[in-house]
Structure 1
Amino acid sequence: MLVAEAVGRALVAAGVDHVFGVVGSGNFHVTNAMVAAGARFVASRHEGGGATMADAYARTSGRPAALTVHQGCGLTNAMTGIAEAAKSRTPLVVVTAEATQPRSNFYVDQSGLAAAVGAVARRVTSAETAVADTVEAVATAVHQRATVVLNLPLEIQALELPDGQSTGRIELPQAPAPPTPSPTEVERLAATLSAASRPVFVAGRGARSHAARDALIALGERSGALLATSAVAKGLFVGEPFSLDVSGGFASPLAAELIHGADLIVGWGCALNMWTMRHGTLIAPGATVVQVDDTADALGAHRELAFGVHGDVALTAAAVDEALLEEELGSGAAGRAGYRSPELAARLARELAWRDVPFEDRSIADQIDPRTLTIALDDLLPTRRVLGVDSGNFMGYPSMFLRVPDERGFCFTQAFQSIGLGLSTTIGAALAQPDRLPVAAVGDGGLMMSVAELDTVRRLGLPMVVVVYNDEAYGAEVHHFAPGGHPMDTVTFPETDIAAIARGYGFTGVTVRTTEDLHAVRAWVEGPRDTALLIDAKVRGDQPSWWLEEAFRGH
């Protein structure tokens, strides 16, 4: 057995069941070995798309994924998607061939590239260590929640594996125990919660697990805290009567009012950065701010804290809940109402959702208001869905007006703030959640960047809905610079019939300018859905979205 085959087999034996990417000469054998070992290979039309599909699959499935690319140019093509995954701490293994001779056309410093975007660089260094090196890469990805670039030098790939090496059943090394908060920190947080009248929890990426969610719900009930999330954890508290949905720039007026009214804000696996706290304006003067995180360096990285707690979210929430219970039993108290009341629950049911906030419909004859469009789509499309959102001026509308069933139904690849990732995001999420309707929300700029992946949707036979918020511009730049009187020629484009482009890829393509045009969407939903659907929505683009306007003002 050659090293290339051994590495491919070892990756699958170590738990990788989906591999995405583009195959060239350098990664041909290792990719085929993964397929022979039982992994599903998903061919993207561009390495960047493959990277983002793998990222989204890992996030939405809860399992590690792999990206496979050619040496040099294959890796550089994938770097934006790899940067997004690394910044998001996605457990992803990038399997890349490597040219080690500096005179090779394919030579680049691949380990340096990985380090530059926050990924972990690893290399298969010999035939004798090939399997062990591969297992270490997967273990690092899984246990450290890291994106690992595993370099496979061409000359090493061609070596024979020594006798006695096995690529059969592989057990990853045992995961390190999650950090347990100190008793002192637990007592301090419990006392702080006990003293608070209006506590709010903000759960982030580090709380996206069943154990963390259940522990936070229980602690919220005992302490009277309201429950919010960062954008990336949207859906975590669906169905909870005291959920505020998303905190930050996407927060609805009622959610922002209640978060600003808190006398205690606790971030659980959440950075409490400028986006989640609206540049700090959601924190009232005098409010106490606490952060719980399993990574010590994250504590206080974005926000001055009263104190931080180094610990796993689920373990910490459960320990604090137990401390409060013991306090109740000792004092005979019946628990705390905190921020919760029947009146507030009724108000949240009536007013929290963005669709319940009154607005003036600014649709005109040939352009639809993006709010009107998105509310109508939310009513038309099945609610059991998985939603992927690209970046851009439009992104708040699908993020906040389209409901999702839980945190696995929302995939938000925004850590690098690159446009062009939304379509591939949704492909990866769709494969991880095959029982849900995949919905990709993209801008016209992002769609045209990634248009080749429409072919991937068609080949996979995904019953996907692609909603293009088409303002014929890079809308964020228009709204950023137009008020200063700058020319807009570089960021605006002639009208493009994106629906016709989609039909060329085998989609059902419809153009929507008014709500009456949505009859074609209804017909698709009620039909066999034997093709994917692309909605080229001609939206009004003459005003910035509310969240972007705030971001540009810096508050």
Structure 2
Amino acid sequence: MDASPTVAEAIAAEIVRAGVARVFGFPGGGGNLDLMDAFGAAGVEFVLARSEGSAALMGCAHAELTGRPAVVVVGSGPGLASVVNGVANAHLDRVPLVVISDRQTDAEAATTGHQLLDQRALLAPVTKWGTTLQSAGAASSMRRALGVASAYPRGPVHLDLPRATAGEPARPGPEPELQPGAVTADLDAIATGLGAAERPLLLIGLEAARGVDQRDVVELVRRLRCPVLTTYKAKGVVPESDGAWAGILSGGELERPLLERADALLGVGLDPVELLTKPWPYEAPFYALREAGLGDEYFAPAASAAGALGELAAQLWRALPERTTGTWTRAEIERCRDGVLPALDIRADHLNAGAVVDIVRRHAPDAIVAVDAGAHMLPVTTTWRVERPGRFLISNGLATMGFAVPAAIAAAALDRDAVVVAFTGDGGLAYNLAELETARRLGVRVVVVVFNDSSLSLIRIKLQATGRPGTSLDLAETDFSALARGFGCEGEIARTPQELSDAMARALAREHSTVLDARLSGLEYGPLLKVIRG
């Protein structure tokens, strides 16, 4: 008679059952080691990151690209504390993430204070649910964790695993009872309101990036004969070569003229966490399709429907009457979409942020792109064109620095034939520079483009706007190309558009990763920020 599986083996079996083939982590010993053995035996790849936070950010990108929950394994004490940033990113970007942390046994905790934290309490504010695993019911708790993480609104959960428990025989426990998400539908009222509008406007948010067929969104646009704004995380839900795509919705000033001219707004998967922190200023009636009923207090919708977003979108376009005319003009759409270009001031005699994006896009127009937080994200998000979902990764709700490189590595590991580009700043790359070794070890190719102006530019602009003097936000010049070579990648410095173009061509010809250290002044960021955000 076969022996009962251990708790670690039972957890691995549930991960396989959920269709998860890759786990990320930075182990700390204890029960983590039992889990790693169990993952290997079950055929689950364990990806060793260089920090817990990077592992969680890799997991976030992996989950967004696969549509399945991601699993991250970390140690106790400092391991758990270091993963908080990545878990907070999953919380605010609505990403299904399961964190399994090592911890002392109760007997150990009673006799020592070494690395002893209330780990459940530490992650509680940024997780949907958490529990301490026991040998009884470990498998059912893992099933519940995967289910809760994937339920609307998606988000992270936390399992604390006492180190002795991981190797104990798993025993049956009560089966989880998952509460189905609330489903409300007022599609008739939404269709009636939109059908009566002369200038409807479609606003696409993060939920649509993973839950809606692009064809259904395009059909909504056709039925409404309206322009479309997408949030950063929804780039590609509508092909950005489509003449109806009017640009980015961020809560800033660039899109305001279009929104003020609309007489009805339809939000599809739009979450208020995606917008700048200010009240919703528009008076046109707002209609909402959402996975979960979040944001009602923010948008105050005239009518809403919550549930499976793809089904709701398909039902809505079928309920809408065919329009024969529309009152939006091509000029209105183009002004919103292209209004940022003059501020970029792309010139051929020196390298600036707009030129960097333009050059990289000419060499790799269909690349999967991961974008870090910082001033450089302004030209990237507004001018990089995306034609389908899953090609643009960004931390938007948390907007954390250090996101781009781990996310790009996760994307490259999923699709080794794709061109993957990480756009980051000199401040952001310093967060997770060691992950270049991870890329080399995994044998994946990522092109890391560093907007290197030796400053925390976005914060410097905000400092200058207050009238405070000082240059404390400037950094010493760093040669990221040399650091890249130290981690087993290639690195090149570019100071002119031609140098960057040549370096980009060489990077794409290599089989391993390259850091392109683009040297620029950053003086264009201030005017660009004013155009986009006001």
Report deviation, 1:104.
Answer: 4.0
Q: Does 1:318 align with 2:309?
A: no
Q: Does 1:191 align with 2:172?
A: no
Report deviation, 1:203.
Answer: 1.2
Cα distance in 1 for residues equivalent to 2:76 and 2:521: 44
Superposed CA offset, 1:217-239 (max 9, x none): 22322222322211111111014
Report deviation, 1:70.
Answer: 0.8
Contact map agreement 2:494 2:516 (CA 8 A) in 1: yes
1:329 equivalent in structure 2: none
Task: Give the counterpart of 1:146 among 151, 155, 159.
Answer: 155
Report deviation, 1:544.
Answer: 3.2
Contact map agreement 1:97 1:151 (CA 8 A) in 2: yes
Q: After superposition, where does 1:202-217 map in structure 2 within 5 Å?
A: 202-209=203-210, 211-217=212-218
* 3-state SS of paired residue (2:434): helix
Contact map agreement 1:247 1:277 (CA 8 A) in 2: no
1:411 equivalent in structure 2: 393
Q: After superposition, where does 1:322-401 map in structure 2 within 5 Å?
A: 322-325=318-321, 335-339=323-327, 344=330, 354=338, 357-359=341-343, 361=345, 368-380=351-363, 382-401=364-383
Contact map agreement 2:287 2:301 (CA 8 A) in 1: yes
Q: Does 1:422 align with 2:404?
A: yes
1:330 equivalent in structure 2: none
Residue identity opposite 1:357 in structure 2: L
Bigger mean CA deviation after superposition, 419-428 or 215-224: 215-224
Cα distance in 2 for residues equivalent to 1:113 and 1:354: 44
Q: After superposition, where does 1:243-322 map in structure 2 within 5 Å?
A: 243-248=245-250, 256-272=256-272, 275=275, 280=280, 283=282, 286-296=283-293, 298-322=294-318
* 3-state SS of paired residue (1:301): helix
Q: Does 1:136 align with 2:132?
A: no
* 3-state SS of paired residue (2:393): strand
Cα distance in 2 for residues equivalent to 1:408 and 1:80: 23
2:15 equivalent in structure 1: 11
* 3-state SS of paired residue (2:91): helix
Cα distance in 2 for residues equivalent to 1:274 and 1:53: 20
Cα distance in 2 for residues equivalent to 1:7 and 1:231: 35
Contact map agreement 1:228 1:246 (CA 8 A) in 2: yes
1:44 equivalent in structure 2: 49
Residue identity opposite 2:432 in structure 1: S
* 3-state SS of paired residue (2:146): helix
1:328 equivalent in structure 2: none
Report deviation, 1:509.
Answer: 1.0
Contact map agreement 1:386 1:437 (CA 8 A) in 2: yes
Contact map agreement 1:31 1:68 (CA 8 A) in 2: no
- CA distance change for structure 1 residues 250 and 317 in 2, over 3 Å: closer, same or farther? same
Q: Normalising by structure 1, report the TM-score.
A: 0.86
Report deviation, 1:387.
Answer: 0.6
- CA distance change for structure 1 residues 76 and 467 in 2, over 3 Å: closer, same or farther? same
Report deviation, 1:302.
Answer: 2.5
Cα distance in 2 for residues equivalent to 1:178 and 1:314: 15
Contact map agreement 2:285 2:301 (CA 8 A) in 1: yes
Contact map agreement 1:120 1:146 (CA 8 A) in 2: no
Q: After superposition, where does 1:210-225 map in structure 2 within 5 Å?
A: 211-225=212-226
Task: Give the counterpart of 1:539 among 517, 520, 530.
Answer: 520
* 3-state SS of paired residue (2:85): helix
Residue identity opposite 1:247 in structure 2: L
Report deviation, 1:531.
Answer: 2.4
Gaps of 5+ in 1: 167-171, 326-333
- Figure out how many residues of one structure are paired with residues of the other and give that number: 522
Task: Give the counterpart of 1:124 among 133, 153, 177.
Answer: 133
Q: Does 1:468 align with 2:477?
A: no
Residue identity opposite 2:131 in structure 1: R
- CA distance change for structure 1 residues 532 and 249 in 2, over 3 Å: closer, same or farther? farther
Percent identical among aligned pairs is 27
- CA distance change for structure 1 residues 523 and 233 in 2, over 3 Å: closer, same or farther? closer
1:63 equivalent in structure 2: 68
- CA distance change for structure 1 residues 174 and 321 in 2, over 3 Å: closer, same or farther? farther
* 3-state SS of paired residue (1:11): helix
* 3-state SS of paired residue (1:201): strand
Contact map agreement 2:231 2:248 (CA 8 A) in 1: yes
- CA-based RMSD: 3.0
Cα distance in 2 for residues equivalent to 1:52 and 1:421: 6
Cα distance in 1 for residues equivalent to 2:284 and 2:163: 58
Residue identity opposite 2:147 in structure 1: A
Report deviation, 1:47.
Answer: 0.9
Cα distance in 1 for residues equivalent to 2:245 and 2:323: 19
Contact map agreement 1:424 1:453 (CA 8 A) in 2: yes
Report deviation, 1:173.
Answer: 8.2
Cα distance in 2 for residues equivalent to 1:18 and 1:204: 27
Cα distance in 2 for residues equivalent to 1:523 and 1:69: 38
Contact map agreement 1:203 1:229 (CA 8 A) in 2: yes
- CA distance change for structure 1 residues 87 and 358 in 2, over 3 Å: closer, same or farther? closer
Q: Does 1:441 align with 2:423?
A: yes
- CA distance change for structure 1 residues 478 and 509 in 2, over 3 Å: closer, same or farther? same
Contact map agreement 1:423 1:440 (CA 8 A) in 2: yes
Superposed CA offset, 1:218-275 (max 9, x none): 2322222322211111111014331224223678x5x654333211111111025683
- CA distance change for structure 1 residues 219 and 389 in 2, over 3 Å: closer, same or farther? same
Cα distance in 2 for residues equivalent to 1:245 and 1:362: 19
Gaps of 5+ in 2: none
Task: Give the counterpart of 1:514 among 496, 504, 517.
Answer: 496
Cα distance in 1 for residues equivalent to 2:11 and 2:113: 24
2:85 equivalent in structure 1: 80
2:459 equivalent in structure 1: 477
Residue identity opposite 2:158 in structure 1: V
Report deviation, 1:364.
Answer: 9.8
Report deviation, 1:390.
Answer: 0.6
Cα distance in 1 for residues equivalent to 2:381 and 2:320: 35
Contact map agreement 1:248 1:256 (CA 8 A) in 2: no
